[in-house]
Structure 1
Amino acid sequence: MIQTVMALVGDIGGTNARFALVKPGSTELTEIVTLKCADYENIEFACQAYFDQVGIKGVEQACLAFACPVQQEEIRLTNNPWCFTRRSLKDALGLTSLKIVNDFTAMALGMLNLKPEEKIQFGGGEGLTDMARLVIGPGTGLGVSGLIKANDDWIPLASEGGHINFAPIDELDVIIWRHLHSRFGRVSVERLLCGQGLVNLYEALAEHTRFEPQFTHPSEVVEAALNATDPRAVEALDRFCRILGTVAGDNVLTLGARGGVYLCGGILPRVREFFLQSSFREAFEAKGRFVGYMESIPVWLCVAEQPGLVGAAAALFNEEVAG
């Protein structure tokens, strides 16, 4: 095995650890491998297993994105027992340079490197080139970030925007809010706009119609909605898209994101055709006196396979991104 001049990039969550190699200064991925986190005692062993699998001794530079807070020296994953320090990982892998970023920071940077075939525009115009952009993605949770142009680079904004309050817009929203308030007290938008959030919506609508819920997993709700076998599932998925439109529009106004909006995460690509026919765009633009402002803003649905890895590669050589 050889020591490579390539750099290591990774996108590590609760279930999977995705790795790839990139040339310095490039976002073109090679040797993409996905490993199951449960198969390895720690991140060091997972990285070494990756090196063994692709036939290299190691690397000198790495940027790894983790699904957890990354501001401290000690990194403790949220849905994964792995825990390590920056210094211990750098030493264990023999690195001269190590960047550690949040997974949604990497996701945001990945949006800037999408190929034309990796994004689908959903309304709006071309967007203002150097203006702020919004990145929002429902998956296991709801990630929210912004991209701000600084000199020749883009700065991804660290955000906990998924935890803002859910603000009902119509009577059905109020009914949904009451259902969730009785269970959770405070109702954040993430309680609705993630995998479990889709189940929460379905259960709220089932209760409202005095129907015994049939599904407990997001994939079951999605399947029933796409096949139109349960009207509550169809309504839950449409309401999911509508609320996402409202929340994305609110964030556009807050950030001044006239450069456009990127939609990412694991849910939307699976329901692409349903989403593109949904009330998302109507809700996105429904901002009263600012309808004209919203109508011009482009929204892109990301359908890329590895945007997190591409974003980690972009973060590695972006001097504006701390890690």
Structure 2
Amino acid sequence: MTAFPSSLPSLSPPHAGGARLLADIGGTNARFTLEVGPGRFEAIEVLPCNAYPTLADAVRAYLALPRVQVANPMLHAGIRHAAIAIANPVVGDQVRMTNHHWAFSIEALRQECGFDTLVVVNDFSALARSLPHLGNQKRQVGGGAPVPDAPLGLLGAGTGLGVSGLIPAPAPAAGGQAAGWTALRSEGGHVSFSPVNELEVAILQYAWREFEHVSAERLLSGAGVELIYRALAQRAGRPGERLDAPEISRRALAGECALCDEVLEAFCGMLGTVAGNLAVTLGAQGGVYIGGGIVPRLGERFAASSFRRRFEQKGRFSGYLGQVPTYVITADYPAFLGVSAILSEKLSAP
């Protein structure tokens, strides 16, 4: 797999220090790859987090796979450099996941796995760093056009709700293009949920029965889809069967269940509001990008939803937001692009 098809030759030279291990760790799945050369990803594997007691166990299981060993051109030397994007705040050496039970010391993990270099960053910081490299691996929803060298916004719903942004570094000279980008270490998914209509007030009131603090993530996530379903079923006076998020989405997209379709519509509208909040907060005139595991699977149903209308629904700032484009990320493993760039910068630093 070549990660940067528009900017790299079809066969870039191998990394001098051997293949690099890259990982994207979510609350449900751990995605691994070997980057054998700049932008050349080999042996991509997705392992279920629940199958391994620790992250180190998952790393060892991946590296022991036969196809992984074959993909490493310097197998005898092992893996020297690794970078991990993880769905969690990363502050200092100790990491404890919010949506999974893994907890570890970065330095202890480096030593246990035998790496010379181990970089661990927030997954949405890594995903944000991928945005300038997506090329045509995105789909625009609604109107607007990006302003060059302007901030970019990012959010994505999956096991949780990730939020980040990409801020252009100062230009090297007057009139020049941005010299680089800085990814925000945001935990914006945990801001308090703010309803904008009576239906969302009812959903929030239902959620308060289960949670003292209802964050945006409580509703804009896989578990949130299920919570919205329970709230709307009760509001309709017909509590439904307990369905998981994939089944709710399947029934809605297949046209089998009007209630499930109402759930998806509510979800998309809420996401539009949060995306609009992010755009005005960051001044994200370069665009707002939607990643995560849920929205890219909705296809045209998302484009036809109230997302874009709600994105622009900001009163006096509706005209401002009408000029800001919104995109759904369609790349299969976009976080690898960002974590690769972060590791390369680490290794090239003096």
1:95-121 residue CA offsets vs partner (Å, 9 max, x unmatched): 2222111122222222332130x2101
Count residues with an aligned counterpart.
Answer: 316
Aligned counterpart, 2:80: 60
State the TM-score, normalizing by the size of structure 1: 0.90
**Are the structure 2 counterparts of residues 234 and 39 from structure 1 closer, same or farther at C-alpha, using a change threshold of 3 Å?**
closer
3-state DSSP of counterpart to 1:184: coil
Distance 1:310 1:222 in 2: 28
Q: Is the Cα–Cα contact under 8 Å of residues 70 and 101 in structure 1 kept in the other structure? A: yes
1:297 and 2:309 are equivalent in the alignment: no
Q: Is the Cα–Cα contact under 8 Å of residues 128 and 166 in structure 2 kept in the other structure? A: yes
Share of identical aligned residues, percent? Answer: 41
Distance 1:290 1:223 in 2: 35
Aligned counterpart, 2:156: 137
1:201-243 residue CA offsets vs partner (Å, 9 max, x unmatched): 1111111110121233111211221122222211111111011
- Equivalences for residues 76-225 of structure 1 within 5 A: 76-116=96-136, 118-151=137-170, 152-225=179-252
Gaps of 5+ in 2: 1-15, 70-74, 171-178
Aligned counterpart, 1:36: 48
Q: Is the Cα–Cα contact under 8 Å of residues 145 and 158 in structure 1 kept in the other structure? A: yes
Distance 1:184 1:41 in 2: 28
Please identify, of 130-139 and 220-229, the stretch whose mean Cα deviation from structure 2 is larger.
Answer: 220-229
3-state DSSP of counterpart to 2:337: helix
1:234 and 2:253 are equivalent in the alignment: no
Q: Is the Cα–Cα contact under 8 Å of residues 32 and 44 in structure 2 kept in the other structure? A: yes
3-state DSSP of counterpart to 1:213: coil
Please identify, of 202-211 and 175-184, the stretch whose mean Cα deviation from structure 2 is larger.
Answer: 175-184
**Shift in Å at residue 61 of structure 1?**
1.4
**Shift in Å at residue 175 of structure 1?**
1.6
State the TM-score, normalizing by the size of structure 2: 0.84
Distance 2:50 2:228 in 1: 31
Aligned counterpart, 2:8: none
Distance 1:209 1:248 in 2: 28
1:31-69 residue CA offsets vs partner (Å, 9 max, x unmatched): 212233344443334333333322224222111112223
Q: Is the Cα–Cα contact under 8 Å of residues 27 and 159 in structure 2 kept in the other structure? A: no
Q: Is the Cα–Cα contact under 8 Å of residues 28 and 310 in structure 1 kept in the other structure? A: no
Q: Is the Cα–Cα contact under 8 Å of residues 192 and 240 in structure 1 kept in the other structure? A: yes
Aligned counterpart, 2:279: 252
Q: For residue 146 of structure 2, what is the amino acid of its counterpart?
A: G
Q: Is the Cα–Cα contact under 8 Å of residues 109 and 311 in structure 1 kept in the other structure? A: yes
Q: For residue 151 of structure 2, what is the amino acid of its counterpart?
A: A
Q: Is the Cα–Cα contact under 8 Å of residues 190 and 217 in structure 2 kept in the other structure? A: yes
Distance 2:111 2:211 in 1: 43
3-state DSSP of counterpart to 2:133: coil
Distance 1:83 1:149 in 2: 33
What's the RMSD between the two structures over aligned residues? 2.1
Aligned counterpart, 1:13: 26
1:98-146 residue CA offsets vs partner (Å, 9 max, x unmatched): 2111122222222332130x21011233211211110000111111111
Instruction: Identify which of 282, 286, 296 aligns with 2:313.
Output: 286
3-state DSSP of counterpart to 2:210: helix
**Shift in Å at residue 23 of structure 1?**
4.7
Q: Is the Cα–Cα contact under 8 Å of residues 6 and 23 in structure 1 kept in the other structure? A: yes
**Shift in Å at residue 315 of structure 1?**
1.7
Gaps of 5+ in 1: none
